[in-house]
Structure formats: C-alpha cells, structure tokens
Amino acid sequence: MDTTHAVIEAAVDIVPAAPEEQSVLANLLELYSHDFSELYDIDLGADDRYGYTPLPLYWTEPGRHPFLVRLDGTLAGFVLVKRGSEVSRDPDVWDLAEFFIVRRHRRRRLGLHVAHHVWRRFPGRWEVRVMPANRAAQAFWARAIREWTSDVVSSVPVERDGKSWQLFAFDSRAHPAP
C-alpha cells in the first residue's frame, strides 16, 4: 500500500464552506486564477484581483456546493460543485465547476482523494471540463476517473459560448465495489 496515500487520507478534511468563509474561498480563487493566467487570457480587474463573479451564488442558489480542503488543519484547496451542465445544459448532471489544490500539496494523491470524496458524496452523472492548454489537468482527470470507475474515460473536445474545452463525462455510480 502507498503509505503517502494512507497518511493523506487520514489527515484530510473536505468540508462545506460556510457563508462566513466566502472571503477565504475568494482568496484561494485568486491563487487558482493566477495559476491559470499562464494558460488562459485573464487579467486583473480594477481592484487588482481576478475575481470570481459566481462565488456568492454558492450560498444563495440551490444545487451549488462550495467546499474547503484542509490537510492537517491547514488550508490546502477548494472544490466548487454545481448541479447542471455548462456544456450540454443537462440540468441533472453534476458539474465540477472549479477544483484547486495549492501547489505545495500537489502530486501527493490529495487531489485524487478529494475528487473521489466529492463523487462519493454526489453520486450520478458528472462532467469535468478542462481547458485544452491545461495538459496536466487533462492527465490528472483521466487518472482520477480511471481510478474511480476502473475504466478509461476519454475526454472529447467541445465548444460552448465561444470557449473550447476537453470534456470528461462519466457516472460516479460506476465505482467498483470495494
């Protein structure tokens, strides 16, 4: 057994973000956006922040779920899940809107653990969108889904509202019995 994986699983907390933690999530979104700035044309706003306009909706609209990820009590990332596809417009699909693990904690299976936790919590059909330029994320999601379903799920190129994506679609209920 991979002992690093066992240690991470024992020390990880993936908890719904409370409304009073919105500023914490907003700060993490700044780091997330900064990471994307090398792959995607994104500029700082007039307030010197990238911003994330839909963030307040995660506490006011049903079907939206914000999570903070902590490792040994230290903030390590976030996940934003919402009901309804951004690509197919299917209202019953779970959409992994945003997913972020801070650089220090990457490549330690933490992201896999977090993704699997979310898929377990929200069983059903999922869509995961990845920018075509983000090859590392494409490889990560292909691996995470393969480890979850025990099947290879290939991404397909899609375009919606002038944006291009690589789209992974799968059913989280396809997880094999332990």
pLDDT, one tens digit per residue, over 119-163 is 999 999 999 999 888 888 899 999 999 999 888 888 888 888 888
Residue 153 pLDDT? 86
Give the 3-state secondary structure of residue 93: coil
Domains of the chain: 3-124 (3.40.630.30)
* pLDDT tier at 20, thresholds 50, 70, 90: very high
Cβ atoms of 158 and 87 closer than 8 Å = yes
For residue 175, give every residue at least 6 positions away whose Cβ sits within 8 Å of its Cβ, in sequence order, or none. 119, 120, 148, 149
Phi, psi of 97 (to 5 degrees): -60, -50
What type of residue is 108?
A: R
pLDDT at site 128: 94
Supply the pLDDT for residue 1: 39
Q: Is the pLDDT of residue 108 over 80?
A: no
From CA 14, how far away is CA 119, in angstroms rounded? 12
pTM of the model: 0.86
The C-alpha atoms of residue 53 and residue 42 are separated, in whole angstroms, by 14
pLDDT at 88: 85
What pLDDT is stored for residue 50 in this prediction? 59
Q: What is the dihedral of CA 14, 123, 1, 168, to 10 degrees?
A: -100
Q: Tokens at residue 94, please?
A: 């779970």
pLDDT of 22-68, one tens digit each? Answer: 999 998 988 876 566 566 666 666 666 656 788 899 999 999 999 99
Report strand pairing: 125-130 vs 94-101: parallel
pLDDT at site 87: 87
